[in-house]
Amino acid sequence: MATMAKVLENQSQGISQQNASHSTRVHSESFLKRKYERWGEFLKLRRQAKFRSAREFCSKEDLGISYPQYSRYEAGDQLPSLEHALQLCRLLSIPTLEGILEWNRAQMGESKAGTEVDQLLAKVRASAIASQESAAGAINTTLSKNSGSKKLPLPPEAVSFDDVVVFNRSHLKVFESDSRYRDIFTYVNSFAPEWITADEISKVLAIEPEKIDAMLEQLNDLGVILVGGGKCRATKSNFYFPDDPEFFNLRNANVEHNVSNLMKQITPESIEKRESFRGLISREFSPEQFAQLLGKVEELMNAGISFPQPKDPDRIYSICVLMGERFRRPQAQTAIDGQTSQPGLKTQLNANETSGSNSSTGLDRKSV
């Protein structure tokens, strides 16, 4: 599959070639049925980045039209309505602005307005390429940091950056407003690219039917899911939280939310059947020992990420790992006489001993 940056470059080159050859067309075409070659080429190129054939696209996605009808769009014989064009754009992960501009440009001839649209499209695509390269660099940097070495947990070719949702401040605001947005996104994303009904999500996540539609529309507006005909699906397979303090807090909230809900699902029977696991170790480790354990846990998490997608999954599992310092002894305090006192808060016993109490036990009855 071609990367999106390459597709955008090819798209720009292809449109330039179309503009150059357009002026050489014979005027006899005006007597034929008008064709929308530009839109057809645009649609075909972007479809090829995600699906091997138009038939595969039509069979795997709910286009709302037949394969022959879609073929007429790619052939340039017909132009879809704007509403349907935007639906195709969503299914092919084409930015809305780019889709609208191409749809309008396909209906323009050689004119000043058409040239201005071409220039605007070039700017939109250049901005998209720069954003994707920036996101790719950020993701690679974060993966490198998380892995603790230069080796990424997944090779770069295993994750197409065309298939990554990069979260921004708009996502942050919505996901912080209600933890159920995270549940909806996780549920839909886990079964991608399958379409999930709103009724199923409402039932599984115990969200009121009157609220689920509005929440799904909110996530649709953010571009993380597609909504249509009472169903929804994930727009992309991977998501990335920027590595900054605000999203650090959201990550923590995600872990806390998942741990809380996971604990409700764990039962003695599920542990006995090895369908769940619950463990806790609190003991002393040297810094070197802890670093070794941390490396092994990172290997475990990376293995979980790398597992191939099971066929027709019906369960979602969560692996939540927390590791860190739980307690620390206070530093020994130096007594006035140069002797090291016992660690901890100074008690009445300490006070009496240092003040020369005559009590054989060192206790003051008033403090007992």
Percentage above 70 pLDDT, the chain: 69
d(CA 192, CA 236): 8
pLDDT at residue 132, as a whole number: 55
Tokens at 100, concatenated: 């609208």
Contact 96, 103 (CB under 8 A): no
d(CA 64, CA 91): 12
pLDDT at residue 135, as a whole number: 52
φ/ψ of residue 314, rounded to 5: -125, 5
241 CB contacts (<8 Å, ≥6 apart)? Answer: 167, 247, 250, 251
Q: Which of 65-69, 297-301, 357-361 has the lowest mean pLDDT?
A: 357-361
pLDDT mean across residues, the chain = 74
How far from chain centre, in Å, is Cα 58?
25
pLDDT at residue 296, as a whole number: 92
pTM above the 0.85 mark?
A: no
Q: Which of 66-70, 273-277, 331-335 has the lowest mean pLDDT?
A: 331-335
Q: Is the pLDDT of residue 269 over 90?
A: yes
Q: Which residues in the chain belong to E strands, given as ranges?
A: 164-166, 196-197, 225-228, 231-234, 238-240
Considering the segment(s) 167-265 as one domain, its CATH architecture is: Orthogonal Bundle (1.10)
Helix, strand, or coil (residue 238): strand
Tokens at 200, concatenated: 């199923």
CA-based nearest residue to 342, from 328, 331, 356: 331
Q: Is the pLDDT of residue 266 over 60?
A: yes
Q: Which of 16-20, 186-190, 303-307 has the lowest mean pLDDT?
A: 16-20
d(CA 238, CA 189): 8
d(CA 356, CA 349): 11
pLDDT at residue 206, as a whole number: 92
pLDDT at residue 36, as a whole number: 85
pLDDT digits (tens, 9 = 90+) for 61-95: 888 899 999 999 999 899 999 889 999 998 988 88
Give the count of alpha carbons within 13 A of 56, CB side only: 9
Task: Output the CA torsion 275→308→198→318 (10° steps).
Answer: 40
Distance separating the N- and C-terminal Cα atoms of the chain: 78
At residue 179 the predicted structure's pLDDT band, cuts being 50, 70 and 90, is confident
Delimiting residues of CATH 1.10.10 domain(s) in the chain: 167-265
At residue 235 the predicted structure's pLDDT band, cuts being 50, 70 and 90, is confident
pLDDT at residue 362, as a whole number: 37
pLDDT digits (tens, 9 = 90+) for 90-129: 898 888 888 888 898 888 877 788 788 888 888 777 766 6
